Structure 1
Amino acid sequence: MSTALQLLNNREQFYARLPPIAMASNEEWLACMVASWCVGQGVLPDYLGLEPEQFSQLKQAYFQDQPLPEQAPSGSQLDFSRMLEKEDLVNLLRRYSRADTLEMDWVIAIIVAGCLGSDHLWQDLGLWSRSQLSAMLQYNFPELAAKNTQDMKWKKFLYKQLCEAEGLYLCRAPSCNVCIDYPKCYGSEE
């Protein structure tokens, strides 16, 4: 069996051991990300990118019967200090968030940590498909997600929102439809 297939099977086995969860909610998406993280998939760093206290609260709320490591099993050591946009991303997501809850802080911190990865955001987060990421963003940030009218890749979309908020328009094409990089921003991620 290939290593990739073995990781997928391990992730699904871990996920199956979790208590039943509500579908289409943060609990489901967090469970998918944790299952992937525990088998070394995605790029989320130690504590899933959360502060240690937040990680403890997350474990207590949803995973108290599961032995979760604190260090990233993948050995991912992302350096948050190199991410100049961290605070801007947090503020963007907070501005559009549905509710100001402890859970929302976890979701925002994990998404921002995933933005440090070099792959598609859903893969960097350890979600199982782009449609899961889309559903999670629509659920938590409905107004922001609704702005993505042309289905731009989510990480590019978030950074584009930051640029536009600063009045920066780096693309030289008059519209996305005529840009030679169109497939990089709007192509399939599967």
Structure 2
Amino acid sequence: MTGYTDTIRLWATDTRRAGLLAEADGVGEVGLESSEIGRRLAVRFTLKVDLDRVSDARYQVFGCGYSMAACAVAADLAVGQTLRESRRLDADCLEAALDGLPEERRYCAEMAAQALQAAVQSALTGGTVRTALPQDKAHGPRVTPNHPVYVLLMSSRSPAAISDEDRHLLACLLSVATEEPWETGAALGLDDKALDALLSLVFPGVDRAVLAELASPTKIPPLECNAELLTLLLPHVPTDRSFMQQMISCWLVRILATRSALPGHLWVAMGLTQRPQLSAAIRRHLPGLAEANSRNMRWKRFLFKQLCDQNGGTLCKAPNCGVCSDYHLCFAEDGK
């Protein structure tokens, strides 16, 4: 793991309490309501209780290293405490135990704390308790054809080597990035050199200074590109394509590794108008990755499941997808 503090790395790789407890006394979930399918990262906590005291705790998390660390420390802190004491373990407690979190990762501690509290409530009242984090924005496409940045980009000359689909894809990404509190390139995992190349090759005549005038003021540290996802995705870049196509594939890999860290559907985080556009882009530029997702798993879940499988952490509660009661949470028809 790169880009993490030593404390975060320590807890994120601590899998002593990862997994699922059989015949648990308390089960709490966040992000697994039917209305939340694919909309955010998800956590499940299971607890064993002995004489009103948490005797064991396990977690399953579908998310980044910060999420894994927050869940690991939450489970560790809960064990040995009474149910009443465990209810005091809020996001502030978890963040303090992790020696702080970046502002944009605060939601990881909130998610872990809420799932733990749901499990405690379950132990007190019986039955699985499902809860949801507040939604920051209405769920749906964030870029429309009349978005000023989209209009500017798509009005530029269209190079013969670039398809309309790829110009639309990259215009949506740049448009949504200008609305966010990061530098436009950083919001997509691209450095200044890569952003300049993208603009000059795909949208001739539009430079970074023009985008900067339309972008929201930068307020917080740059969004990080997930190094583990980047390592996972880079081998899928085809080597038998034209220079231009390889460039787009490399940009897409960095963009996916960065935008996957945001809450919500990945296709929405990329500013697209519907999920099939993301699937089509991956088929065009990362065909091996598209082939690997043969069962049409939601893309963010698919990517993080690959990391979970590699690192030994998992949200899955069944040995294979076909027999899992959460199947509908991971798989859906295109467009949903």
Q: TM-score, normalised by structure 2?
A: 0.46
1: distance between equivalents of 2:317 and 2:172? 38
User: What's 1:46 paired with?
Assistant: 184
User: What's 2:164 paired with?
Assistant: 23
2: distance between equivalents of 1:115 and 1:177? 25
1: distance between equivalents of 2:229 and 2:146? 32
Contact 2:227 2:257 in 1 (8 A): no
Q: Which has the higher strand share?
A: 2
How far has the Cα of 1:111 moved from its partner?
1.4
Pairing 1:10–2:146 present: yes
Larger RCO (alpha carbons 8 Å, 6+ apart) = 1
After TM superposition, list the pairs within 5 Å mapping 1:1-190 onto structure 2: 8-11=144-147, 13-14=151-152, 16-20=154-158, 21-24=162-165, 26-38=166-178, 40=179, 46-47=184-185, 48-66=188-206, 67-69=210-212, 72-73=215-216, 77=220, 80=223, 86-99=226-239, 101-187=246-332, 190=336
Moved over 4 A (4+): 4-7, 74-81, 167-170
How far has the Cα of 1:114 moved from its partner?
0.7
User: What's 2:48 paired with?
Assistant: none
> What secondary structure sits across from 1:69 in the alignment?
helix
2: distance between equivalents of 1:132 and 1:6? 14
Residues 39-88 of structure 1, C-alpha deviation per residue, up to 9 Å, x if partnerless?
A: x38x975313311121112122222323322885386857545x7xx221
How far has the Cα of 1:140 moved from its partner?
1.6
Opposite residue 19 of structure 1, the aligned amino acid is R
User: What's 2:34 paired with?
Assistant: none
Opposite residue 184 of structure 1, the aligned amino acid is L
2: distance between equivalents of 1:122 and 1:76? 24
Opposite residue 164 of structure 2, the aligned amino acid is M
Contact 1:14 1:35 in 2 (8 A): no
In the alignment of these two chains, the number of paired residues is: 181
2: distance between equivalents of 1:174 and 1:5? 35
Q: Which has the higher helix share?
A: 1
Contact 1:127 1:133 in 2 (8 A): yes
Classify 1:118/1:50 alpha carbon distance in 2 versus 1 (closer, same or farther; 3 Å). Answer: same
Classify 1:79/1:187 alpha carbon distance in 2 versus 1 (closer, same or farther; 3 Å). Answer: farther
Higher mean C-alpha deviation, range 13-22 or range 142-151: 13-22
Higher mean C-alpha deviation, range 50-59 or range 12-21: 12-21
Q: TM-score, normalised by structure 1?
A: 0.76
1: distance between equivalents of 2:190 and 2:155? 23
How far has the Cα of 1:147 moved from its partner?
1.3
The structure that has the greater radius of gyration is: 2
User: What's 2:127 paired with?
Assistant: none
Q: Which runs of 5+ in 2 are unaligned?
A: 1-139
Higher mean C-alpha deviation, range 49-58 or range 67-76: 67-76
How far has the Cα of 1:178 moved from its partner?
3.8
2: distance between equivalents of 1:172 and 1:5? 31
How far has the Cα of 1:10 moved from its partner?
2.5
1: distance between equivalents of 2:286 and 2:202? 22
Residues 6-28 of structure 1, C-alpha deviation per residue, up to 9 Å, x if partnerless?
A: 9624326345423335234x444
User: What's 2:57 paired with?
Assistant: none
How far has the Cα of 1:156 moved from its partner?
0.7
Higher mean C-alpha deviation, range 105-114 or range 9-18: 9-18
